[in-house]
Amino acid sequence: MRAVAAGLLLLLAAADVGPYGPAFGAKADVVRSFTLTTTGAIAREITGKKGDGKTGLRGQCNPTMFANFGIERGDFDQRADIYLITKGKIATGATGEFKLDTIWVSFYDDANGERKFGGPGTLTLTIHEASPGARRMKGTITGPKLEGLDTQKGKFIAVTASFDMDFSCGVK
């Protein structure tokens, strides 16, 4: 475990992540690579990688219930993140396409404040290894028309996020 930003944020190493993900409020340093691309009301490309001190996994993926996890890039004064909630379960080691009940994408910076978007989408997992000490999940999250929330009402974005993580929905 290591503390980041004067001890205000806990960034967990892969060995400290439980079978379903980091504890509530913690961010795990398990994201090998991450690219978030949006078009529409906000056109951005955000990238991150393991060990950069800013990119990490939040949330849980318990194979006995819906998944609710996300990837965050940034820190307190500037960040972008994507979170998802599945319509159903993701079995340990399962690959393929999973319908998402909701994708949330948010951007924050001091000049613009928080800008949030949400809507349905798809998670496609191409790799999902769940062996102890050798966990890996690789895939893509897509949302073709996420609607603006709060200050972004009436605006839309399309999102594609690709990721590769040392994580899985459960452990075999």
pLDDT band at 47 (very low <50, low <70, confident <90, very high): very high
Strands 44-49 and 55-60: unpaired
The reported pTM is 0.90
Instruction: Return mean pLDDT, the chain.
Output: 91
Inter-residue contact 27 to 5 (CB < 8 Å): no
What is the three-class DSSP state of 25? coil
Asked if 9 and 2 count as a contact pair (C-beta separation under 8 A), the reply is no
pLDDT above 50 (res 10): yes
Instruction: Convert the pLDDT of each residue in 130-147 to its tens digit.
Output: 999 899 999 999 999 999
Of all residues in the chain, the percent with pLDDT exceeding 70 is: 91
- Residue 47's φ and ψ, nearest 5 degrees, are -130, 155
